[in-house]
Amino acid sequence: MVQVCQRLMVQGLPGTTSCRGPVDVVRKVMKVEGVRGMYRGFGLTAVTQSPASALWWGAYGAAQHIIWRSLGCRDDIEKKPSHVEMVAVQATAGLVAGACSSVITTPIDTVKTRLQVMDNYEIGRPSVLKTAKALLKEDGWWGFYRGFGPRFLNMSLYGTTMIVTYELISMSFSPSC
């Protein structure tokens, strides 16, 4: 499905094939590349998602620790923060984590997306290296950060929503003293 969505998003751009909808995308990809074409970039997706998640969780933990320390909270202090303070710190740490993770993983995600939607075979069969070289030639190093804004928002908002929801649910089920 990702292959279909991404192709529909970029159709009309140079080097892409125009399609009349999702079924037409599947038909054209299957005709030219077979089943393998529907999974182009899948390996890079797996390689990107694991480090992105690990980076997000690491940055989230570090950001949360730094924020609590800057607010004067220590483990040895008996005063517990309010629910509002907890949510504010978790949401802020989630945004910081999204920023850190997306800064590091956007270049590989950009190459992966380009590889998935590329229809122009003038450079031969698409590969990660060929795609990265073409991107570098077209836009320089900044080209690897195409789509950074939406990726940052996606990682930050998804992660923040997920962690705040998890923390609120876990607090509501934890025994109170």
In a domain, 46, yes or no: no
Rounded to an integer, what distance in angstroms lies between the CA atom of residue 16 and that of residue 10? 7
**Mean pLDDT for the chain overall:** 81
pLDDT at residue 118 greater than cutoff 80: no
User: How far apart (Å, rounded) are the C-alpha atoms in residues 68 and 60?
Assistant: 12
Identify the domain containing residue 78 by its residue range. 52-171
- Mean pLDDT confidence for 48-66: 90
84 and 147, same domain (yes or no): yes
When divided into structural domains, the chain yields a total of 2
**64 plus 137 within the same structural domain:** yes
Q: What is the mean pLDDT of residues 3-30?
A: 75
Residue type, 44: L
Tell me, yes or no, whether 25 and 62 share the same domain. no
Which of the two residues, 53 and 48, has the higher pLDDT score?
53
Dist. CA 168–CA 174, nearest whole Å = 10
pLDDT band at 76 (very low <50, low <70, confident <90, very high): low
122 or 42, higher pLDDT: 42
pLDDT > 50? residue 8: yes
In a domain, 157, yes or no: yes
Look up residue 71 and give its two tokens: 């607010």
Within 10 A of 30 (CB to CB), how many other CB atoms are there? 13
Q: In this structure, what DSSP letter does residue 11 have?
A: T
For residue 47, is it within any domain? no
% pLDDT > 70, the chain: 84
Shared-domain flag, residues 114 and 148: yes
In a domain, 77, yes or no: yes
The pLDDT of residue 177 is 45
Q: Considering the domain boundaries, does residue 64 fall inside one?
A: yes
Average pLDDT (89-93) is 91
**Selection from 151, 150, 148 nearest residue 139 by Cα:** 148
Same domain flag for 112 and 158: yes
pLDDT at 117: 76
pTM: 0.69
Q: At residue 167, what are phi and psi to the nearest 5 degrees?
A: -65, -40
